[in-house]
Homo-oligomer: A and B are copies of this chain.
């Protein structure tokens, strides 16, 4: 089947590193969904504001591969344990489709793009193609007694964040909480033996360099790009 983007989302992430491991983990992360010309039809969104959350079906556009691999190594398992690709939400999948629940903050009409949706809790790269938007239906989608395996076990994993005031102030005020929470979510990839390493997270036009020591992300510098 041929599917075509109906929209693209604009976020503060130009690179994958630093994006929270699931949607909703950092409510301060905003995104704006801008529709392709054909879909800038106000009627198509009638009633959408009565839903608090939306599903986005999107393209893991930076994770296309020629061949799929039956197993992946989830970062939450330390990156050295393999699980089946269908037992993971890894971006490397036979069909490169992603699924995220985001909060609908508001519907905003803009002069340039017509109707747009401002959403929060995003975990998507800037310019990710969106194939479908569906309302979140609590009675069907919120399964209170579901078991989430290793994702459950590690849902509270987090780092302390040591972000000195003078460095924090380099960031615009509205972006500070988002960065702190993204760091707390532990953006490090699979292999973590390498403590002392300087990691670099790009966000909202800034490069944030940090190390990880004793379960604490220590910000070393913030550079405007």
A residues 62-101 in Cβ contact with B at 8 Å: 70-71, 82-89, 93-97, 99, 101
Given A39-B94, A47-B83, A48-B87, output 5 extra A-B contacts at Cβ < 8 Å.
Answer: A47-B84, A47-B88, A51-B146, A94-B132, A142-B142
Give 23 pairs: A residue, B residue, CB < 8 Å, sorted on A.
A1-B96, A1-B129, A3-B97, A6-B95, A22-B139, A23-B140, A25-B140, A44-B71, A44-B84, A46-B71, A47-B88, A47-B150, A48-B84, A48-B87, A53-B143, A53-B146, A53-B147, A89-B134, A101-B143, A138-B143, A138-B148, A140-B151, A141-B143
List which A25-53 residues lie within 8 A (CB) of chain B: 25, 38-39, 41, 43-48, 50-53
A6 → chain B closest CB, angstroms: 5
CA distance A45 to B85 in the complex (A): 7
Which partner residue on chain B sits nearest A81 by CB separation? B47
Q: Does A214 belong to the interface (CB within 8 Å)?
A: no
How far apart are the CA atoms of A126 and B48 in the complex, in Å?
A: 31
- The contact size tier of chain A is 35 or more
| B residues in contact with A155, CB < 8 Å | 139
Q: Within residues 1 to 17 of chain A, which ones have a CB less than 8 A from any CB in chain B?
A: 1-4, 6
- In the complex, A170 Cα to B139 Cα: how many Å? 33
Which A residues contact B (CB, under 8 angstroms)?
Answer: 1-4, 6, 22-25, 38-39, 41, 43-48, 50-53, 55, 57, 59, 70-71, 82-89, 93-97, 99, 101, 129, 131-152, 155
State the CA gap A138–B23 with chains docked (Å): 12
Asked whether B135 lies within 8 Å of A151 as measured between CB atoms, the reply is: yes
Bound complex: CA of A173 vs CA of B136, how far in Å? 35
Question: In the complex, A47 Cα to B77 Cα: how many Å?
Answer: 12
Contact flag A150-B50 (CB < 8 Å), given A22-B139, A86-B134, A139-B155: yes
The CA of A159 and the CA of B37, in the complex, are separated in Å by 43
Inter-subunit contact B137/A89 (CB<8 Å)? yes
The CA-CA distance from A51 to B4 in the complex, in Å, is 31
